[in-house]
Amino acid sequence: MTPEQKTALAGFLDTAGDYLGDGYRRPRESYDFAGDPAAPELPVRESAGSPDLGTGGPPLPSPVSSGIEEIAEEIRICGSCPLGAGRTNAVPGEGVNNPLVLVIGEGPGQDEDRTGRPFVGRAGQLLDKMLAAIGLRRQENCFIANVVKCRPPGNRDPAPAEALACRPFLNRQIACLRPRIIFCVGKVASNLLLGNEEWATIGSLRGRFFEYPAAPPVPLLATYHPSALLRNEDLKRPAWEDLKLLRSKLEELTGN
């Protein structure tokens, strides 16, 4: 990230913290960020359902896009756990086929339940800014999903039975998308994807890559949920370090 990108992201988080607090605009810290080495543009992956600019008509569905849409249709009619009875919309996920990064959160919130799209509220807007700072966008080279596809009441953590009921959908999405890296945001997604019987804190998981047992194995990085960054400004710097680590791994894997 450049010094300007870091300063802009810090300012956004400062303002969000004031807004979520008492509304009072506190004195701002003077940031003096150093720039990272210039990062080349990351590859753009094929977007599901994008128009065929060569013929003017819709594209022929690829096996990946067909598979992902089939999973999404099953999710939209699923009634395997009680969450389905209280939803407005299921939230299968969105993004591109064969993404560089698959971002996984815990579950939809109120805005996501209303729209059927993942990470569109305040935390989602921050997530988009964080990803954009290292050249990632859901429209170009990411896919964004959740552990559970329907909103838990009151935005509580998913119950073990709910996560278990939704896990086959997530497993199939990972197998179909074949991401280069899995980026888990928050303790729920991170511990579930890592298969931890005793849940660890994000503070103890972040800052290093794990191996998700796919074929072939997929590097997995855990970090704080964007909503945690909105609540606690002290988490901003470690989250930026995680983003830089993610970017470095992508450059290593893609050669860009």
Domain residue ranges in the chain: 44-254
27: pLDDT strictly greater than 70: no
User: In the predicted model, is pLDDT for residue 56 greater than 50?
Assistant: no
- Model confidence over 116-155: pLDDT tens digits? 999 999 999 999 999 999 999 999 999 999 999 999 999 9
Topology (CATH) of 44-254: Uracil-DNA Glycosylase, subunit E (3.40.470)
Mean pLDDT of 171-198: 96
- How far is the first Cα of the chain from the last one, in angstroms, to the nearest whole number? 15
- Looking at every residue in the chain, the average pLDDT score rounds to 84
Q: What is the pLDDT at residue 179?
A: 97
**pLDDT above 80 for 13:** no
pLDDT tier at 59, thresholds 50, 70, 90 = very low
Banded model confidence at residue 225, pLDDT cuts 50, 70, 90: very high
Query: Mean per-residue pLDDT for 154-181?
Result: 95
Give residue 65's pLDDT: 65
Give pLDDT tens digits for 192-210.
Answer: 999 999 999 999 999 999 9
Mean pLDDT of the 228-236 span: 96
Q: For residue range 71-114, what is the model confidence (pLDDT) as tens digits?
A: 999 999 999 999 999 999 999 999 999 999 999 999 999 999 99
Return the higher-pLDDT residue of 89 and 44: 89
| pLDDT for the residue numbered 160 | 92
pLDDT higher than threshold 60 for residue 68: yes
Q: How many residues does the chain have?
A: 256
Mean pLDDT of all residues in 248-253: 97
What pLDDT band is residue 215 in, cutting at 50, 70 and 90?
Answer: confident
pLDDT score, position 119: 98
